[in-house]
Structure 1
């Protein structure tokens, strides 16, 4: 008897950018159809993204999601109507350390997400338009991040110098150990959130809410913030274009997002398990 027969997947938690969407943020018809087929077959389907909850609302509508979803890498779980189910704020101590490190980097833009807004300081950087295109809205310019220190959801270091972000990730982790979770959601974004604000905790929380055992859950993603959910899911799937370190954390590697790898995985592993 196959493992799929013993532990059929009843809940899937999926990353968004680089997983369900093409590089131009487009959703293919094949992926849309595969998600619809999952839901029609009785499989719960939800999203976990580094995006703010406000930017998740149109995705909830697009995919017809009727269960909680995770924004800010799991820092905030919202119901389908946008109301907050769970929220984890970054400790002020960790925020101060992170802001000091990022502000000293000329190639790194520092963004703060708090009070439902995306905050930045002047002058605008090269990465702002890219983020605005992905989120569907722009930032609020503030003179200082200090008034928000007690309620920050996420801090992002954004840079086209991906190698520098790798180095900053290594520098920051020991400085905020036990206080914050540090990961690169994409090669150009270094995210800092509360310790419980990770996709693994999000998967556990939503699965418990739905009454689904972890062995009957699946997780799929491509970024450095996705292994946290790979480590707790019954089935973990890495996208084909993911970094090797991410692929090594998954039990299965599918095709890339430009090849509709998520749809391929859903079709082969969940909708028709055992069919070659």
Structure 2
């Protein structure tokens, strides 16, 4: 880690000793690189249920791309889609919804076009695409089981937008635009990469940190009693809010520095290992009265 990364990690508050709620990212975290849920993950989800700890998902995915996993996971909890810009109740009805200012949408689209990043717009259950042959359209369609709405242009489609995604196989270009568009839209939008090839632009308060606060409030839990798990820049806002922040093993050093612990990668059952070794030893059922703090659990400190 760099000196800056070490300083960030050293400044973290101590990890929580009691956990009543888990909020998790999906891609790169709960899911394998092949977008699968393993038997170990299912066992860890069941262990959380048995311990009385709800699990809520927050993802940059559109709602359908999250809901498609509910049956296999056996989840009946509220969740956050579009980087937390839209919060859904357990019955999949909308609990709260944010939208980008149309001017910010147009400014972002102009920047993405100049720098040759494909742009997608998300509005409610709509996914708008003006380049259907873009490199990531078909993989995304398969991943979220959702067909895009092909438009000739985005003119007239800048209102009610919950998320813009810029995509490119030029990972350096995506990283540069994270910084440049972030500066352009400072104070108007949240801008963060959700993968090396995706840049997400969402309403200013539409980030995973605010989503975690909403979900904690729903359960009557203080954010200091929430554990979160993620792997990318867009997960850092919830790291800053949660009492226990866990980064996946493949996370960059900059992301890992802002977590209390680093678990194994999503190629090596990192999610289930985090639940087993870091969350469950701290678990306090929502149905229980506060108990004495459990002993410190094993895990790899993020600064190690």
Q: Is the TM value for this pair above 0.5?
A: yes
Deviation at 1:138, TM superposition (A): 2.1
State the distance in 2 between where 1:123 and 1:255 align. Answer: 36
Q: Which residue of 2 aligns with 1:19?
A: 29
TM alignment of 1:159-238, pairs within 5 A: 159-238=168-247
State the distance in 2 between where 1:75 and 1:151 align. Answer: 11
Identify the match of residue 261 of structure 1 among 238, 255, 270.
270
Q: Which residue of 1 aligns with 2:97?
A: 87
Q: C-alpha deviations, 1:159-206, integer Å up to 9, x for none? A: 111110011111111111111000000111000000111000000011
Q: C-alpha deviations, 1:28-75, integer Å up to 9, x for none? A: 100111011101210011101000012211222222222210000100
**Does the 8 Å CA contact 2:78/2:92 hold for their aligned counterparts?**
no
Identify the match of residue 121 of structure 1 among 130, 133, 138.
130
State the distance in 2 between where 1:250 and 1:264 align. Answer: 16
TM alignment of 1:237-276, pairs within 5 A: 237-273=246-282, 274=296, 276=298
State the distance in 1 between where 2:245 and 2:26 align. Answer: 15
Moved over 6 A (4+): none
Report the 3-state secondary structure (helix = DSSP H, G, I; strand = E; otherwise coil) of the residue aligned with 2:27: coil
State the distance in 1 between where 2:168 and 2:272 align. Answer: 30
State the distance in 1 between where 2:131 and 2:230 align. Answer: 33
- Aligned pairs, how many? 272
**Does the 8 Å CA contact 2:64/2:145 hold for their aligned counterparts?**
no
Identify the match of residue 42 of structure 1 among 31, 52, 68.
52
Q: C-alpha deviations, 1:109-151, integer Å up to 9, x for none? A: 1111114111111352111111112111221101222322110
Q: C-alpha deviations, 1:89-125, integer Å up to 9, x for none? A: 011111011000111233x211111141111113521
**Does the 8 Å CA contact 2:227/2:279 hold for their aligned counterparts?**
no
Task: Confirm or deny that 1:75 pairs with 2:91.
Answer: no
State the distance in 2 between where 1:183 and 1:75 align. Answer: 13
Deviation at 1:7, TM superposition (A): 3.9
Identify the match of residue 130 of structure 1 among 131, 139, 164.
139
Say which structure, 1 or 2, has more relative contact order (CA 8 Å, 6+ apart). Answer: 2
Q: Can you give the 5+ residue segments of structure 1 that lack an aligned partner in the other structure? A: none
User: Alpha carbons of 1:157 and 1:275: their partners in 2 closer, same or farther (altered >3 Å)?
Assistant: closer
TM alignment of 1:100-111, pairs within 5 A: 100-106=110-116, 108-111=117-120
Q: Which residue of 1 aligns with 2:148?
A: 139
State the distance in 2 between where 1:73 and 1:223 align. Answer: 12
Report the 3-state secondary structure (helix = DSSP H, G, I; strand = E; otherwise coil) of the residue aligned with 2:238: helix
Aligned Cα RMSD in Å? 1.5
**Does the 8 Å CA contact 1:7/1:215 hold for their aligned counterparts?**
no
Q: Can you give the 5+ residue segments of structure 2 that lack an aligned partner in the other structure? A: 1-13, 283-295, 299-304
